[in-house]
Amino acid sequence: MEIFWQADHPMAQTEVVSTCVDRKWKERSIFSMLNSLMEKGVLKEVGFVRSGKTYARTFEPALSHAEYLAEVIVEQLPADQFPELLAALLKRVEITPAIQKELRTAVRENGQ
């Protein structure tokens, strides 16, 4: 998914393979990998591009990296520990006035 999150455009299977220079998987397994990521809801098919004599599907993330990490955390951490998690994150990140403003907006918009 890192490849898709870093890309600024939808990518076809062949481009994914050529981008993954340090891959630890076989080139033949890309089809299964892409389908698995789509089944998990983190990748979506968005179109087609010409690839030789045929067309290839193009893909892009269905979730941002932050949204994905939020899903992982929600699955792993009880809700009553969210304040502790947020406090731990705030200790490790330089909080600029712009980030403070975004955090206040997020709390206001999502508060219940």
Average pLDDT (55-81) is 94
Judge whether 61 and 1 are in contact, CB under 8 Å: yes
pLDDT at 26 over 80: no
The ranges assigned to domains in the chain are: 2-61, 77-110
Where does the pLDDT of residue 51 fall: very low under 50, low under 70, confident under 90, or very high at 90 and above?
Answer: confident
Q: Which fold has domain 2-61?
A: Arc Repressor Mutant, subunit A (1.10.10)
- Number of neighbours of residue 12 by Cβ within 10 angstroms: 19
pLDDT at 64 over 80: yes
Where does the pLDDT of residue 23 fall: very low under 50, low under 70, confident under 90, or very high at 90 and above?
Answer: confident
DSSP code at position 40: T
Q: What pLDDT shows up at residue 74?
A: 92
Q: What pLDDT shows up at residue 27?
A: 74
pLDDT at 85 over 90: yes
